[in-house]
Structure formats: C-alpha cells, structure tokens
Amino acid sequence: MWSTLFFLLSLSVFCSPQKPTAMELAEQFMWKLKDAHNSHDDQRLRALCLPRFQFRSCFEIFNRKRSIDTMMSFPFGTSVSKILNVTVDVERDIEFILALDASGQTNLQFVFAIDRFLLKLESVRFAQCPDVISTRGKRSSAETLAKINQVPKEANFNFALKSANWNNYGQIEYTVTISGALHDDFDAQFVYCPYRQVLMSGSISSCPAKRMFAKPCLDDLGLFC
C-alpha cells in the first residue's frame, strides 16, 4: 500500500506540467493579440489591455483609448514579427522587444510589458527614440510657424512628393520637390509622426538659388534658408 502511494506521489511530481517560460508566455500573448487585431474587433483587443494600459511615443504618453487605437493601426497582418530579449521583473511583468519587418517599415521595434499572470498588456513604447533632430538653421516650433504665417496667400508654391519611407522610430521620412516663382526647384526633407499626426521636423540640404525680380516678395522672409 505504502509503495503504491509512494509511486503515485512520485508520478504526480515528475509528471506534473511545467510552468511556461517567459518566452512561451510572450508568444502566447502575441498570438492572442494578433488574432484580436486581425479580427478587426476592438472589443477583443480592449479585453487584452489592462485599465492602466498606455502607449508611449517618443514625445508623449497616450491615454488608454488613443493607445488602443494606436495598437489597432499596427501592421500585424502584413508584417513578419519576432520576439526578442524577454525579461521578467521581480513583481509580475514580462517585458519583451517585438521587432516588426513590414513592407516599407524595416526593423520597427517596440517594447511590450505584459502582466504575466493575467496575460494582459500594460504598456508599449518604442525601443529607441531619436535625439533632437537638428536641421539647417534650426528654428523652434514657434519661430517656424511665425515664418509660415508671413507667407502671403498669393504666393504660388508647388509640392511634389519624391520619396517616402518609414524610419526606425515609427515615423515617416519623406522628400518633396518644391517649385515656385522665386527660387529654382529644390528638395526638402520632412519627418512626420503618423501616430500623433504632426510634423516633427523639416530641412533642406542646401539653399536654392534665388531668381532676381524687381520687387521680390518672399526673399527677405528667410522661410527656406
């Protein structure tokens, strides 16, 4: 009898299921998240997020609603993802880096933090954020807006998109060719953040040659140089 009991106890110890690893929990959560995302059912995605869930961009922290809207815009359906660098803190969180490789969005990396017991999302942030992006003749936002406001309504500028690509910070870098009556055509580079829907910076590699007019209207504004 005792030998039978000992055998059963030993069997229960050695055959009991092992606890999943941090990587397995991260993979399990990402499977649920992608499935909810691909269903286009925001209620399912909301159910995977803690009440305190936040998406942290390089410049601000979104509220829960905006954070979830941002997650809905992730290119899970058209990208190849890979989980990197899984860590567990002393309390209850699992952190891992998710690398996304989608068409035109090479090597986007985000840090996910999930509750390892509830398997719910606590926060998402960019793995790396850029330093202050300098531009030629850098101006503050207020100075830039003041220059733009000085441009008269009758000024005739044409903007033609030349190229656009995602950078490693989830922003769109694009180049436009600007043509107008006062300058030779020239290219300008801009950085746009689609999550905030704001322009981050703009620059030109060199000042365009000015065309001489008897009464120039924009040459003295210093808008481009």
d(CA 131, CA 152): 34
How many Cβ atoms sit within 10 Å of the Cβ of residue 21?
A: 12
Rounded to the nearest 5°, which phi and psi values hold at 15?
Answer: -105, 0
Q: What is the CATH number of the domain that holds 26?
A: 3.10.450.50
Q: What is the CATH number of the domain that holds 187?
A: 3.10.450
| pLDDT for 45 | 92
pTM, two decimal places = 0.56
* Partners of residue 157 on adjacent β-strands: 180
Same domain, 23 and 115: yes
Same domain, 144 and 72: no
- The parent domain of residue 99 ranges over 17-126
The count of domains in the chain is: 2
| pLDDT for 43 | 92
Same domain, 119 and 22: yes
| pLDDT for 113 | 94
The last residue of a domain, from among 105, 126, 147? 126
* Partners of residue 198 on adjacent β-strands: 193
| pLDDT for 4 | 56
HSE, side-chain direction, 13 A CA sphere, residue 68? 19
pLDDT in tens, the chain (225 residues): 445 555 455 545 445 567 888 899 999 999 999 999 888 888 999 999 999 999 987 767 888 998 998 888 887 776 778 888 888 876 778 999 998 876 555 567 889 999 989 999 999 998 876 543 434 456 655 566 566 666 666 666 777 888 888 877 777 888 888 777 566 777 888 887 776 566 777 777 766 655 544 444 444 445 555
| pLDDT for 40 | 86
d(CA 103, CA 78): 8
d(CA 72, CA 34): 10
Measured in Å, how far apart are the chain's first and last C-alpha atoms?
93
Same domain, 67 and 140: no
DSSP 119: T
